[in-house]
Structure 1
């Protein structure tokens, strides 16, 4: 797995998200109650950035374009119009730095 640096823990306040530009797709990283979660940044229903979505205390994020709700832990869509999940990724915190673990691409 490839380990991608996101930011310092202090740079991602509770209830906020950050977009990480990486290949093959940008990643949205969320701080929900001091727990960090990552998913692909693009909504599975349309071309919207999930890091710009509305984050709820219950661990859901609302697409800013279509109002679909997703679980940030599983990527599962929780209401229409979205029906497909968004891929999620493991997050690790080391020495106050946040990293996302991505599967390495096949060459």
Structure 2
């Protein structure tokens, strides 16, 4: 089971473009793993695959189970912990059902060891 991070106030976000919100410290996201984050408008699953970081809505498109409670495999496959649907962590695309709808992906920005996410309306 993955812990839920609650974003702290950013100290200096002057170089962060509008619309991005601080989600977590990069160090809080396992090197090949997942972190569920409660954002002001939504719950986000942050996936880290080595040096790359991705963010998705933290709900499987099949049955709304938290993706952060699933598994991120070394090949970039994101596995839902409930029914086993698989997605590409780089794009959110469905790799195998029972899900048939891609995950909602968000833009990610790393600044000074912080992960920022831009949620879509």
TM-score by length of 2: 0.79
The unaligned stretches of length 5 or more in structure 2 are 1-17
**Shift of residue 35 of structure 1?**
0.8
SS of 2:94's equivalent in the other structure is: coil
Contact conserved, 2:36 with 2:68, CA < 8 A, in 1? yes
User: Over residues 42-62 of structure 1, what are the superposed CA-to-partner deviations in whole Å (9 max), with x where a residue is unaligned?
Assistant: 000002110111110111110
Partner residue of 1:87?
A: 104
Please say if 1:75 is aligned against 2:92.
yes
Partner residue of 2:53?
A: 36
Q: Name the structure, 1 or 2, with higher relative contact order (CA <8 Å, separation 6+).
A: 1
Q: CA RMSD in A?
A: 1.4
The unaligned stretches of length 5 or more in structure 1 are none
SS of 2:68's equivalent in the other structure is: helix
Which 4+ stretches in 1 moved above 4 angstroms? Answer: none
Partner residue of 2:75?
A: 58
Figure out how many residues of one structure are paired with residues of the other and give that number.
104
SS of 1:78's equivalent in the other structure is: strand
Q: Quote the Cα distance in structure 2 between the aligned partners of 1:58 and 1:12.
A: 17
**Shift of residue 25 of structure 1?**
2.8
